[in-house]
Amino acid sequence: MRRVRDLLDNHSAGNFVGRSEELALLHETLADESPVVVYVHGIAGIGKSRFLGAFAQRARAEGATVVLLDCRRIEPTEAGLLGELSRAIGGTAGSGEEIAARFSRVGDRVVVALDTYEVFRLMDTWLRRVFLPILPDNVRFVLCGREPPAPAWFSDAGWTGLFRSICLESLDQSAAARLLSRTGVPIDDVNRLVGLCHGHPLALTLAASLRRTPGAFALGTGVRQRVVEELSKLFLADISDLQTRRALEAASVVRRVTLPILSALLTDASPLDAQERLRALPFVQPDRDGLQIHDAVREAVSETLRANDPQRYHGYRRSAYRHFMSELHSAPSGDLWRCTADLLYILENPVVREAFFPSGAQEYFVEPARTEDEQAIVDIVERHEHPVLARTLRKWWSEAPETFAVTRDRNGGVAGFYCAFDPASVPKRLSQEDPIARAWLDHLDRQPMPRQQRALFLRRWFAAESGEAPSAVQAACWVDLKRKYLELRPTLRRVYMTLRDPQPYAAAAQRLGFRVLSEAAVQIDGQEYHSAMLDFGPSSVDGWLARLVAAELGVEDNGLLDCAARELVLNGKRVGLTKLEFGVLEFLQSHRGEAVSRNSLLSNVWELNYDGGSNVVDVVIRALRKKMGSRASLIETVHGVGYRFRREA
């Protein structure tokens, strides 16, 4: 008996239908005079990966070398992409120039296709302005993702004629009918399903497997995404085996599915059995990171579970959080980005989501400022800033232009800018001459950071039209700043920022952990400039993200530490902690199960100017254990090393 999986495999291998015009456009990349970059985009489930597979098969048949990579498996950093390309084309990992030289030798025509490119958008500017220009002219890049290309690809004059965008729409009626016929759908049902699915390939494929399901044709004819969602729910109903259905529902709340994740989510089931049940489903594909459930199916299953059984849905998310926290504490540095992405995926709080993925940001792109941007930046500063501080910003531009990034609109014009820097990376004289930055340096002197940790000064941001007020331009700046957060971890400890009017940002800033520094306020001609600071804590950005997720899920680490209040919570009672007690306990908890040396605690918790002996750690530990009472045994002594925070069942 044929299964849906067999039908899908046959379809992928040799039964690709439609897309002839789009394939012809993509095929032109094999010619000498052709676009260097082609950007393929379309909504979830529209068939982008199969389209890439069909093109790759044809390109290889014509002698081209094709490197097909999934961005979900690549760390979104320069090193991550360069390392993956090195592995794909042979040779050892090296610089961009070394990889470019290797490309020139691996074939007359080399096509690199990056699938699921929407998760790689932080690297878009670097690819466009730094890496792609140094490649030899035998290389072509195909970027494939859900979102349309950034406006910079069209506005940058250098890419005119070298860039092409292809949007994958729904299949026309003829192609949709051929797809259904080739999957074994009787001719009498073809027209009915074509009208129901509006040419959406995933909906057509699922509908083909459901054509005998009672009530399959009682669906309305809403938008394509609604059809996908309803068909996915019907497919769930067709899974009569409760163990398989339970495994799919649990797996739908996470970004990727591995044996350890299934073990954490399904505590009374065999994770290996659950993995094999999922692997047999037609919309689940294996890859190097585990199993990937098709996005549209995963989202529909997750939404259905949340609506029908919210308690179980939230229980899965809490279990996922605890598992990802455990991974975060033990993951090697190269895998930290995966753990971060896993934590971000289970965030639902709209304030936090807006902070990481601001609405409207896709209308603009952010890149390092160029020399020719000077007049536009000066005009914006003089329009929105006090003259005294405007002179200061102009001096920053004159002596440290590398601290500026500009936000560009679709036409390449400067719609805004921000100025941000690590104070240790710029001349201290510049910061001392700036009243805002000087106030932040004074705060750092009064409350120094632990050794090896850094600060980021977000000196100012402005949109050309709306100044510092919330806007799509400002949102694009925040997206780029989150990239800086990730680049600077695990040493980034604090972020400082200034605002003339903090009120529009108050709710989001408070939720994210910013606090107003009244002692750092600056008065200029009777106008007050407020400063706010976010302290990520000893565990840097990853620990901060973990706390945000924990707060959303209502999870407290062992029900013990309230990070926001900096208090112990013991049997409903609260016990205050000193600054060092809180820092030591948070650091130990963030490395739960690991042996942490006294020197590590001194480096990450104690102030920069501390030069005493390591016995002070033992003093703080004794004080903590006394305050923890019956739960003091959670902090174990590791003889000859230091201490370990014990995992609780």
**Tens digits of residue pLDDT in 24-76:** 999 998 988 889 999 998 877 788 888 999 999 999 999 999 999 999 888 88
More confident residue, 217 or 568: 568
Distance CA 270, CA 247 (A): 10
**Tens digits of residue pLDDT in 183-231:** 777 777 777 677 666 677 877 777 776 554 444 444 333 334 555 566 5
Q: At residue 6, does pLDDT exceed 50?
A: no
pLDDT at 8: 43
Contacts of 359 (CB under 8 A, 6+ apart): 472, 475
pTM of model > 0.75: no
- pLDDT bin (cut points 50, 70, 90) of residue 625 is very high
Give the range among 102-111, 429-438, 558-567 with minimum mean pLDDT: 558-567
The per-residue b/e assignment along 593-603, b for 16 or more CB within 10 angstroms, e otherwise, is: eebbebebbbb
**Tens digits of residue pLDDT in 339-376:** 767 777 777 665 555 555 555 555 688 889 999 999 99
pLDDT at 355: 54
> Tokens 């009472």 map to which residue?
629
The per-residue b/e assignment along 1-27, b for 16 or more CB within 10 angstroms, e otherwise, is: eeebeebbeebeeebbbbbeebbebbe
pLDDT at 645: 87
Give the length of the chain: 649
Q: What proportion of the chain, given as a percentage, has pLDDT over 90?
A: 36
**Tens digits of residue pLDDT in 128-163:** 999 999 999 999 999 999 888 988 899 888 899 999
Pairing of strands 139-145, 110-115: parallel
pLDDT at 482: 75
201-210 and 173-182 helices cross at what angle (nearest 10)? Answer: 40
Q: What are the counts of helices (DSSP H) followed by strands (DSSP E) for the chain?
A: 28, 21
**Tens digits of residue pLDDT in 628-643:** 887 888 899 998 889 9
pLDDT at 487: 77
**Tens digits of residue pLDDT in 258-301:** 999 999 999 889 999 999 999 888 778 787 778 888 776 787 78
| Range 566-588 average pLDDT | 82
- pLDDT bin (cut points 50, 70, 90) of residue 77 is confident
pLDDT at 223: 36
